[in-house]
Structure 1
Amino acid sequence: MHRHDTYAIGCTLSGVQSFRYRGAVCNSLPGGTIVLHPDEPHDGQAGTDDGFHYRIAYVEPSEIQAVLGGRPLPFIQGGISADLRLLSVASRILRDVDDPIEPFEYEDALFELANALEAAANRVSLRQRRLVNYAAAEIARQYLAERPEAVTLEQLETICGQDRWSLSRDFRVLFGTSPYRYLTMRRLAAVKTMLRDGSGLADAAFSAGFADQSHMTRQFSKAFGVSPGRWLTLTREAR
């Protein structure tokens, strides 16, 4: 089991792709779209002895929000959608590695993806939109993305001009995770980069803003399902 603070959007190309998600076992077949919500624990394995092939992309919730402009982040029940519009848009992004997508084309597809997700989730609500302070939450997200040091909700409250509990609620609605989880994942992303560049575990943990190496290792293993050392070994073997 592991999690991402991004959307995981994919398509099964052949076979049966099984995963545990929100207390249920889901089986993805060709012709559907997998949409795992940010920060939701899941795993993945073949559903039959024949194995499976798939492609998946990890899309930042902030990119979806850049299109939605403050409407609640779309949630696909069950993690799999049969919506043909969503499948068509996802296929534009899930390209072969030999056919890279151009930045302009990606932005165009991203706009369609955000709207297709919203339509498939059927969660458009003007009342909800009025209740969510997107501007304040986006200020908080940018602040957390740029600063690995410890912060508090009280500090974010001062920076954003919104009371801490409303900000915490809105952040979850808009970006699919809590402010603390978002900061933790930014720190872990920094740790990955430093480990790939040759830093030691203790130095990477300190530079990324963790209290110590043990704290970082616990958070890393909880998020990615493997220890930092094991992850680094697998990364080197894959090169």
Structure 2
Amino acid sequence: MITPINDNDWFIHSRTPRMERLEAYFGGHAYDPHRHDTYAVGVTLAGVQSFHYRGAHRHSLPGRTIVIHPDEIHDGHAGAAGGFRYRMIFIPPHVFQDILRGQPLPFLPGGITTDPRMAQSVVRLLRHIDSPPEALEEDDALFELAMAMNAVTGHRPPPRRFDYPAAQRARAFIDESPSTTITLAQLEAVSGQNRWRLSRDFRVLFGTSPYRYPTMRRLERFKGYVQAGNTLAQAAVDAGFADQSHMNRQFADAYGMPPGRWFKLTRQSTDT
């Protein structure tokens, strides 16, 4: 059963060029089932942080590290009275691929670890939530996190080869065509790779499909337009959605709450 939204819920949201960072408190229900095309990696600071993930009900206690793989459905809620507080970073898979250079993305099936290497690397990226780290500090911490995730997940390079340059060309084409409807035929031509192998490799290397990737980029543009002062309806159209209702469905699917609530919490964080 979904518990009512607590009026004391809050979050602090900040960005760097390569990731989003969040600190939040929720007294009960936090997020409906949703999925995003970034890793969500974070630490529980207080209370019991509970979520459904990969067919099980998970519970993270203070000090534990959570790793949600891209495009995996999950929700979020307090697992005990008193709510929960946590910090989380959202890292696009291509940031890890700059380090991994074509290896499959690390995957932690259970979503929670007590490994100290993970905790140390995540805390470095989240230590000062309201001020961005220096570029070199962020580089170093991201490298440590990628190596820790490989170690914790027991990753071994598979015998099958992946066409990382082709997938990267397709991703770059999507990034450079923000207002264009893109087809697999176009990506096939740009990448020089068979569309079905490209689609498979894209999922392994970047954590989501060639369809969901541009959808998430449109949602990012939408958030930026609203934060710049545009109405929800105008921002939805400017970001490339057919209309506001189309955007609403995609937003809830990606973030687990309607855009109105997301922006209300964001404005609260900037007012405090």
TM-score normalised by length of structure 1: 0.92
Aligned to 1:216: 247
Residue range with higher mean Cα deviation, 134-143 or 222-231:
222-231
Matches of 1:122 and 1:23, distance apart in 2: 22
Residue identity (%): 56
User: Which aligned runs of 4 or more in structure 1 are off by greater than 4 angstroms?
Assistant: none
Instruction: Look up the SS of the partner of 2:110 in the other structure.
Output: helix
Q: Secondary structure at the residue paired with 2:82? A: coil
Greater mean alpha carbon deviation, residues 133-142 or residues 90-99? 90-99
Most deviating of 91-100 and 141-150: 91-100
- Distance in 2 (alpha carbons) for counterparts of 1:193 and 1:172: 26
1:173 corresponds to which of 185, 194, 204: 204
User: 3-state SS of the aligned residue for 1:78?
Assistant: coil
CA 1:14–1:228: 2 relative to 1, 3 Å: closer
Matched-pair contact (CA < 8 Å) for 2:54–2:109: no
CA–CA separation in structure 1 for the residues paired with 2:233 and 2:132:
36
Alignment of 1:197-208 (within 5 A): 197-208=228-239
Following superposition, the deviation at residue 55 of structure 1 comes to: 1.4
Q: Which amino acid aligns with 2:168?
A: E
Is 2:61 the counterpart of 1:29?
yes
Query: Once the 2 structures are TM-superposed, how far is the Cα of residue 126 of structure 1 from its aligned partner?
Result: 4.6
Offset of 1:214 from its aligned partner?
2.7
Matched, 1:19 2:51: yes
Question: Where does residue 225 of structure 1 map in the other structure?
Answer: 256
Q: Aligned-pair distance for 1:161?
A: 0.3
Residue identity matched to 1:191: F
* Range moving further from structure 2, 162-171 or 99-108: 99-108
Equivalent of 1:7, from 24, 36, 39?
39
Pairs within 5 Å for 1:7-156: 7-97=39-129, 100-128=132-160, 131-148=161-178, 149-156=180-187
Residue-pair matches, total: 237
Q: Which residue of 2 aligns with 1:188?
A: 219
Q: 1:98 to 1:155 in 2, by over 3 A?
A: closer
Q: Which runs of 5+ in 2 are unaligned?
A: 1-32
Query: C-alpha distance in 2, partners of 1:100/1:232?
Result: 21
Larger CA deviation: 215-224 vs 169-178: 215-224
Tell me how far apart the structure 1 counterparts of residues 158 and 254 of structure 2 sit (CA, whole Å).
Answer: 34
Name which of structure 1's ranges 195-204 and 27-36 shifts more when overlaid on structure 2. 195-204
* 2:69–2:108 Cα contact (<8 Å) kept: yes
Q: TM-score, normalised by structure 2?
A: 0.81
Higher helix share: 1
CA RMSD, 1 decimal: 1.8
Evaluate the alpha carbon distance shift between residue 136 and residue 222 of structure 1 in structure 2; reply closer, same or farther with a 3 A threshold. Answer: same
Distance 1:190 1:4 in 2: 15
CA-CA distance at 1:108 after TM superposition: 0.7
